Structures are given as C-alpha cells and as structure tokens.
C-alpha cells in the first residue's frame, strides 16, 4: 500500500520532498528550465580567471529567499525549457567556449536531471555546484564523480530566520549535513596557478541586523570543516523583492556589523578566503536575465 508521502510519489531533488505535481520551487517534472548562460566574471577570483566561468543559471529555486536579487528567475521562473539531451548539448557548448569551468548556478531542484545530462556529457573542465546549501545529503553523495567544486552557501544559523525568509526552518541542520558530505566527496582544495580545480568555498551573505547569526555560522564552519576552509563573506545584500515585507531588511548592512563579522573570522583563525567591499552592495553585478540576452558566451 502507498500513500501520498511514499518516496515514489515525492520529488527527492531537495529536502522539501514535495508531492509530485505540487512543487514548492515551481519547476515541472518534465524539463529543466534555464534562465541564462553567460561567461561569468563576478564569482570569487579563483573561480573566475581571465577566461571567466561558464555559468548556467537555472530557473526556479528550492529555497526562494524573500530577498533574492535574482527573483525574476528564482521566484518567477523566467527561462527556456531544456530536455536532458539538450542540457547535455548545452554543457558541451559551454565547455567548447573556452571557459575555466562549468558553473551550475542554483542547480539543486534539477539534481536528478543534471546528473543524467552529466552522464551523457561530463566536461573535462571542473564542474561547479553553486548551491544555496539546502541539499539532501543523499543527493550530494550522488554528485561524486560529477562535481569538482562546491560553492556552498551557508545562509542561516537561526531556525526562525530560515523559516521567516525562506520557509525552511530545517535549513541549519540540513546544510550542516550536506556540507560535511560535500567535504567527504571533495576532500581537498586544489588550486593551480590561482585557479580552483577541486574544492569547496563556503559562502555567507551577511544580512542586515542579523550579524550575530553570521558569527554563529562562522563558529559552525570552523567546527565542521576546520579554520583552513576557504570562506567568502559577502556584504552585497540589497533589499529586493519581498524584503519589503520585513522592516529589518530595509537597510544595507552597516560597516560596523560587517567589520564585527570579519573580526570574528580572524579570531577563529580563518586565513583563506574572500571578503567584499561594501560598495558591492548594488545591483550592478546582477546579470541581465532578459531572454533576448539568453546566451552571451
Ligand atoms: S526540488 Fe522542488 S519539487 Fe522537488 S522537493 Fe524541492 S521544492 Fe519540491
């Protein structure tokens, strides 16, 4: 006997486990929707050398943060539909354009179809899994042999914040398990001539009026993976989309709050990583997602 919550009636691409036909993220089960393909130059420098990173931005999102800068694609699902075979062909086109890596941006909700496409066309350049961190650890294990680099967001420590901004009260536990699993399948960071070939960068976006959450996240990264982990502490928050619903999200982060977070990272002994200038807090680095500029490689 089965019921609606049996595994075969659920999508298992992310921890939400939606019943089929009722997707939280917005995707269809048939196609992979892609919002944009571009030579990306604004990731961390070890990901974006002179030839750039070959970024494929996937439409929809399993986390759908209320403040998302890319809400036209993550919430509204703008993009073009691809079959698995067409996606594999797209991977080949991106690789042949001479970029440093294939950068799969917000891929989680298409995990099973992306793995199918990578089985058809696994590039020789590194494959980057550029994730919100809201991942089933079982799915991270399935990426072994297909993914070389994780750009791994660690967004929230506090359950209340995760629920309020992303409707994912279990985010912290889920992210910790997924991150530990990612480290198992990519056990070391390999950087050659300033370009990352394998490894993990843990990213954290500091939110306005929540810097104490950031301090706890840094503590946890140090505890889980050690203070030799490559971290990227971002200050680029701009109030976007449904951030208007929350008065505490109306500000950019203050220099004082950002400095407290950086000082804590230093105190914990983190030495490898990236920080942003507060002038990064603009929408200038958000790609143009209009469909007439779909492919810009
Ligand atoms: S990937 Fe989408 S449909 Fe699947 S479980 Fe997650 S939110 Fe639901």
What pLDDT, on the 0 to 100 scale, is given for residue 12?
97
CB within 8 Å of 259: residues ≥ 6 apart: none
pLDDT tens-digit series, residues 190-205: 999 999 999 999 999 9
What pLDDT, on the 0 to 100 scale, is given for residue 3?
44
Are the CB atoms for 172 and 156 separated by under 8 Å?
A: yes
pLDDT at position 1 over 50:
no
| Euclidean distance between CA atoms 35 and 69, whole angstroms | 14
Residues with CB under 6 A from ligand 1: 11, 13-14, 16-18, 23-25, 27, 62, 109
Taking the domains of the chain in order of start, what are their residue ranges?
26-293
Whether the pTM exceeds 0.75: the reply is yes
CA nearest ligand 1 atom 6, residue: 14
Q: Say how far residue 134 (Cα) sits from the centre of its chain.
A: 9
What pLDDT, on the 0 to 100 scale, is given for residue 253?
87
What pLDDT, on the 0 to 100 scale, is given for residue 244?
86
Given the DSSP bridges, would you call strands 127-131 and 149-153 parallel, antiparallel or unpaired?
Answer: parallel
CB within 8 Å of 172: residues ≥ 6 apart: 156, 157, 158, 159, 162
Question: How far apart are the CA of 276 and the centre of ligand 1, in A?
Answer: 32
pLDDT tens-digit series, residues 29-75: 999 999 999 999 989 999 999 999 999 999 999 999 999 989 999 99
Q: How many residues does the chain have?
A: 297
Instruction: Tell me which CATH homologous superfamily contains domain 26-293.
Output: Aldolase class I (3.20.20.70)
Q: Which atom of ligand 1 is nearest to the CA of 109?
A: 1
Question: How far apart are the CA of 13 and the centre of ligand 1, in A?
Answer: 6
**Which one of 113-117, 244-248, 258-262 scores highest in mean pLDDT?**
113-117
What pLDDT, on the 0 to 100 scale, is given for residue 160?
97
Which residue from 7, 18, 115, 133 has its CB within 8 A of the most atoms of ligand 1, so it is best to mutate?
A: 18
What pLDDT, on the 0 to 100 scale, is given for residue 289?
67
Token reading at 272:
């490898």
pLDDT tens-digit series, residues 25-42: 999 999 999 999 999 998
pLDDT tens-digit series, residues 130-170: 999 999 999 999 999 999 999 999 999 999 999 999 999 99
CA nearest ligand 1 atom 5, residue: 17
């Amino acid at each position: 006997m089965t019921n609606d919550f049996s595994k075969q009636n659920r999508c298992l691409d992310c921890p939400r486990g939606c019943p089929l036909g009722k997707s939280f993220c917005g995707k269809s089960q048939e196609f992979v929707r892609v919002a944009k393909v571009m030579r990306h130059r604004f990731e961390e420098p070890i990901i974006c050398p002179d030839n750039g990173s070959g970024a494929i931005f996937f439409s929809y999102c399993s986390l759908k943060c209320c403040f998302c800068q890319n809400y036209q694609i993550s919430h509204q699902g703008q993009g073009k539909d691809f079959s698995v075979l067409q996606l594999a062909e797209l991977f080949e086109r991106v690789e042949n354009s001479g970029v440093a890596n294939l950068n799969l941006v917000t891929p989680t909700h298409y995990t099973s179809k992306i793995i199918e496409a990578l089985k058809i066309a696994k590039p020789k350049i590194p494959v980057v899994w550029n994730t919100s961190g809201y991942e089933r650890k079982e799915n991270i294990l399935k990426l072994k042999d297909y993914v070389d680099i994780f750009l791994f967001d660690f967004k929230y420590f506090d359950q209340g914040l995760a629920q309020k901004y992303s409707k994912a009260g279990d985010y912290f536990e889920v992210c910790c398990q997924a991150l530990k699993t990612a480290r198992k399948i990519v056990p070391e960071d390999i950087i050659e001539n300033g370009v990352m070939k394998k490894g993990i960068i843990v990213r954290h976006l500091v939110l306005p009026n929540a810097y104490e959450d950031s301090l706890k996240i840094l503590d946890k990264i140090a505890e889980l993976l050690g203070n030799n982990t490559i971290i990227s502490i971002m200050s680029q928050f701009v109030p976007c989309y449904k951030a208007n619903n929350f008065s505490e999200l109306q500000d950019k982060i203050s220099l004082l709050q950002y400095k407290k977070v950086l000082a804590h990272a230093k105190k914990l002994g983190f030495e490898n990583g990236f920080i942003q200038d507060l002038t990064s807090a603009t929408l200038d680095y958000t790609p143009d997602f209009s469909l007439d500029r779909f492919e810009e490689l």
